[in-house]
Amino acid sequence: MSFYIMAQNFHRIQLPREVLIGQGILDRIGNVCVQLSLEAPALVLSGFHTQDVAGKRVVSTLETQGYKTAFTLLEGSTLKQVANVTATIKNTSSKFVLGVGGGAVIDVAKLASFYEGVPFISVPTAASHDGISSDRASISNSEKKPISVSAQAPLGIIADTDIVSQSPWRLTASGCGDIIAKYTAVGDWELAHKIRGEYYGEYASNLALMSSKLIMKNARTIRLNRAEGLRIILEALLSCGVAMSIAGSSRPCSGSEHLFSHALTLISQKTAMHGEQCGVGAIMMAYLQKRNWKLIRETLKIVGAPVTSEELGIDPELIVEALTLAHKIRPERYTILGSDGLTVNAAKNLARITGVIN
């Protein structure tokens, strides 16, 4: 579904049309494609592990529905892989692309399909970050650093909680960290609106904030790794993706805590997962924003996500350095870190007070 809001400038909002979240729904994928009037042939992208969990099953389900289907195995998410998949779409004359896997598979499928002007269906096998539903893709550039690229929203999302529950718990806990991070992202957005007069969308902001609050409220249910809790996470991730589409940028979902995570990825050889780093960032940025940082910390602990540098597996010195560099990552994105950022002493104090370092 695409619609346009006419104002002084119009902005385009692209949203998914069919979303299925629940137990044992993977085999409905052929029906969903028929309902969406998608034409053959199809191209399925999947990862090394996820092909056995879901990728091959998706191919056979599509073929049962009469879809001629090509299959490509994917490792990583670089611009080179996007170019390879773009060529595959051309060579196979594929009319739509399904990304069946974790973040990397979905990002590459989303961007390559966008470049080729064909629809994209998101079939996540893990709930590790909000890319499963957003219109943006995170791709590694030639320096192996992730960049966020505007692409297209998935036409459909099929998230089977039976499949997601088989993924390592660490991925799900990381997804919780990425959702909780919206608490501080929204705080930064409000601040940028007040101080810099930046466009602020209350609807998108509330959608992202609601997602983070849902995770905090349901942390114990989520930790059980049952369908009920996974559905809460997947719906929250969906809302985050929709919030970004409505805002027309990643603003509602990415603030100072994401800048901290990006800085950490830039300076550290060893990194943790995206959502894990953002979760720890959110603890510290919530302290600066004078918000309830203890609730964030407690929620992350309950779901089993890292809350300290040690649990992240990253040296305390790098945490401090990343805090001092975060404001330089995207200078146009105003946050609680301001234009000058934190001094080394302020960064050390912040990390110590919030228990991230000793």
If the CB atoms of residues 178 and 188 are measured against Zn ion, the closer one turns out to be: 178
Nearest one of 349, 326, 165 to 261, comparing CA atoms: 326
If the CB atoms of residues 43 and 216 are measured against Zn ion, the closer one turns out to be: 216
Residue identified by tokens 């990425």 is: 178
Q: How far is the CB of 23 from Zn ion (least distance, A)?
A: 26
Q: How far is the CB of 276 from Zn ion (least distance, A)?
A: 11
Q: How far is the CB of 43 from Zn ion (least distance, A)?
A: 27
Stretch that binds Zn ion, among 31-39, 104-112, 159-167, 173-181 (CB under 5 A): 173-181
Q: Which residues pair with 13 in a beta bridge?
A: 3
Q: How far is the CB of 38 from Zn ion (least distance, A)?
A: 29
Residue whose Cβ sits closest to Zn ion: 178
If the CB atoms of residues 178 and 276 are measured against Zn ion, the closer one turns out to be: 178
Pick one of 107, 178, 257, 276: the residue that binds Zn ion (CB under 5 A).
178
Stretch that binds Zn ion, among 171-179, 209-217, 236-244, 350-358 (CB under 5 A): 171-179
Stretch that binds Zn ion, among 20-28, 175-183, 201-209, 322-330 (CB under 5 A): 175-183
Residue identified by tokens 């998706």 is: 58
Q: How far is the CB of 138 from Zn ion (least distance, A)?
A: 8
- Rounded Cα distance, 11 and 247, in Å: 9
Alpha-carbon torsion (284, 136, 247, 179), positive or negative:
negative
Stretch that binds Zn ion, among 4-12, 44-52, 58-66, 172-180 (CB under 5 A): 172-180
If the CB atoms of residues 42 and 106 are measured against Zn ion, the closer one turns out to be: 106
If the CB atoms of residues 88 and 184 are measured against Zn ion, the closer one turns out to be: 184
Q: How far is the CB of 275 from Zn ion (least distance, A)?
A: 7
If the CB atoms of residues 178 and 321 are measured against Zn ion, the closer one turns out to be: 178
Stretch that binds Zn ion, among 11-19, 50-58, 178-186, 237-245 (CB under 5 A): 178-186
SS (H, E, C) the chain: CEEEECCCCCEEEECCCEEEEECCCHHHHHHHHHHCCCCCCEEEEEECCHHHHHHHHHHHHHHHCCCCEEEEEECCCEHHHHHHHHHHHHHCCCCEEEEEECHHHHHHHHHHHHHHCCCEEEEECCCCCHHHCCCEEEEECCCCCEEEEECCCCCEEEEEHHHHCCCCHHHHHHHHHHHHCHHHHHHHHHHHHHHHCCCCCHHHHHHHHHHHHHHHHCHHHHHCCCHHHHHHHHHHHHHHHHHHHHHCCCHHHCCHHHHHHHHHHHHCCCCCCHHHHHHHHHHHHHHHCCCCHHHHHHHHHHHCCCCCHHHHCCCHHHHHHHHHHHHHHCCCCCCCCCCCCCCHHHHHHHHHHCCCCC
- Rounded Cα distance, 222 and 218, in Å: 6
Q: How far is the CB of 84 from Zn ion (least distance, A)?
A: 25
If the CB atoms of residues 135 and 178 are measured against Zn ion, the closer one turns out to be: 178
Biggest distance spanned by C-alpha atoms of the chain: 64
Q: How far is the CB of 143 from Zn ion (least distance, A)?
A: 20
Stretch that binds Zn ion, among 22-30, 159-167, 176-184, 228-236 (CB under 5 A): 176-184
If the CB atoms of residues 240 and 302 are measured against Zn ion, the closer one turns out to be: 240
Q: How far is the CB of 178 from Zn ion (least distance, A)?
A: 4
Stretch that binds Zn ion, among 177-185, 190-198, 235-243, 262-270 (CB under 5 A): 177-185
If the CB atoms of residues 109 and 259 are measured against Zn ion, the closer one turns out to be: 259
* Binding residues for Zn ion restricted to 208-267, rule: CB under 5 A: none
- Counting residues that bind Zn ion (by CB under 5 A) gives 1
Enumerate binding residues for Zn ion (CB under 5 A). 178
